A and B are shown apart, each in its own frame.
Chain A
Amino acid sequence: MSHLDIELQQLKTESIKMWSLVNLQLRKGKEALLKIDQDLAREVILSERRVNAYELKLDRDCENIFALFNPVAVDLRFVLAVLKINSNLERTGDIVEGIARFVMNVDHTFDTKLLEITRVVEMYTAANNMMESVLEAFEKEDTALARKIFKEDELLDDINIKANAIIALYVKDQPQNVVENALYLLSIIRKLERVGDQAKNMAEEIIFYIEAKVLKHRSKVEKAAE
């Protein structure tokens, strides 16, 4: 194994560690949300610092590899992909922190009926699964698995689009505190939709570095054809 190979392997290992941490944060966020567990939400908020520290470390690692090894071809694409995935992961970490902060502010558990009609739990589970799958695709360099993410993201988009009308109807003639909670939930749905977008971006980066194909800003039909 060459020196560069060792550096690239270490970069991959560090990325996987950061990724696993972000996925753990996301799972804890879900649990905190469903149980309105404010201790767990606080834990998520505190752990966000570790995500930020990973971001800085990975940025520095990428910069060093560029400066010292002048990577080209697949190596260059890999480091570029890690650099962007690093930003996506950090953004995902911020989103989960935001969800945890909502949980801190909600005054009691969400109405089961509201959870049911908005399909937020289903959405959260899908977002978790997407993040797990895209990590697996990165670990195994599996672009077929990465491509499945695009399809899964459609569910999140669908739930997000329908949420406005559902919540508008639900809050009609409801007391102030119920309306507030429902709005928190709408914000959470928005955030989960963005988690889906981050996962999709990361899937695009994996395909870029392995196959040298740029799928950004392409339609679903075009992506499926590539």
Chain B
Amino acid sequence: MYKIESKNVDFFYGSTQALKNINISIKPNTVTALIGPSGCGKSTYLRLFNRMNDLIDGTRIEGSICIDGEDIYAKGVNVDSLRKKVGMVFQKPNPFPKTIFENVAYGLRVNGITDKKFIEERVETSIKQVALWEEVKDKLKKSAFALSGGQQQRLCIARALAIQPSIILMDEPTSALDPISTSKIEELIYELKTKYTIVIVTHNMQQAGRVSDTTAFFYMGELIEHDNTKIIFTNPKIERTQNYITGRFG
């Protein structure tokens, strides 16, 4: 069964159609890269998976998006539960103005968990998962803002992992980071794949090649091609995809 399945998805900002008839099926424990020029709809599409676009007035979706076989836009869906299942990491690291520990514990606390020991264990596991533990274990009470950009981004990933989602959405997670931090995040994505299904928006073609199993190319709100990443980067079937990835785009 597919982890995420979108069927005939159209999406509108007011009267402007941002996505046209998108059909993508994503298998569990895979990394899917969404690529395309700015304004092509890839981030809009990503944000549909945890209903982040609901927060924007005047938006409308048609078609269906199923996660674990259930339509997440069906009536009666609890959006909070959905977002527990679908974590998100953004372009710029956005830690809360709290301590390192409280950043990761935040999701657990807002979900009503009060068991101190449980929270401590979960925070430690999550920070270890993002390979940040050795760097922060002695300064958990310090502000998250004291960390470097790369560390902050890994902390944000730890924060997303703490509530044990099964899907992680990443919107250009390394575009604000230096090459070393970028490679750490990429390694992390590779490791996290064994437990999570990851969808990543990236402008970095090489990054899409390095981290993803499948790549979807969007252009002007349409899905042009979705295939195995190796095929997309060696022999794409559609000329427009080739023009984009080789940098010959009009």
Contacts and interface: CB of A to CB of B under 8 A. Distances in A.
Q: Determine if chain A interacts with chain B.
A: yes
Interface of A: 2, 4-5, 70-77, 212
B248 A72 contact: no
B149 interface: no
A73 B246 contact: yes
Contacts of B242: 73-74
A212 B247 CA distance: 19
B235 interface: yes
Contacts of A75: 246
For the complex of A and B, 10 pairs with smallest distance between CB atoms? A212-B235, A72-B233, A73-B242, A72-B245, A75-B246, A70-B206, A73-B246, A73-B236, A73-B245, A72-B246
A70 B235 CA distance: 15
A70 B247 CA distance: 11
A70 B206 CA distance: 8
A18 to B, nearest CB: 25
Contact of A2 (B206, B234, B248): B248
Given A73-B235, A76-B234, A4 B245 contact: no
Nearest to A1: B248
Contacts of B233: 72-73, 76
Contacts of B246: 4, 71-75
A132 B207 CA distance: 41
Q: SS class of chain A's interface: helix, strand, loop or mixed?
A: helix
A73 B235 CA distance: 5
Residue among A70, A72, A74, A76 facing the most chain B CB atoms (10 A cut-off):
A72
Contacts of A77: 234-235
Interface in B161-190: none
A77 B235 CA distance: 9
Nearest to A8: B246
Contacts of A5: 248
15 contacts: A2-B247, A4-B246, A5-B248, A70-B205, A71-B246, A72-B209, A72-B233, A72-B234, A73-B234, A73-B242, A74-B242, A74-B246, A75-B246, A76-B233, A77-B235
Identify which of B206, B235, B236 gathers the most chain A CB atoms within 10 Å of its CB.
B235
A2 B247 CA distance: 8
A72 B246 CA distance: 6
A23 B233 CA distance: 34
A77 B234 CA distance: 7
Nearest to B237: A212
Nearest to B235: A212
Contacts of B205: 70, 72
Interface in B199-250: 205-206, 209, 233-236, 242, 245-248
Given A73-B234, A76-B234, 4 more contacts: A2-B247, A4-B246, A72-B246, A73-B235
A75 B235 CA distance: 10
Contacts of B209: 72
Nearest to B206: A70
Nearest to A80: B234
A212 B234 contact: yes
Contacts of B247: 2, 4
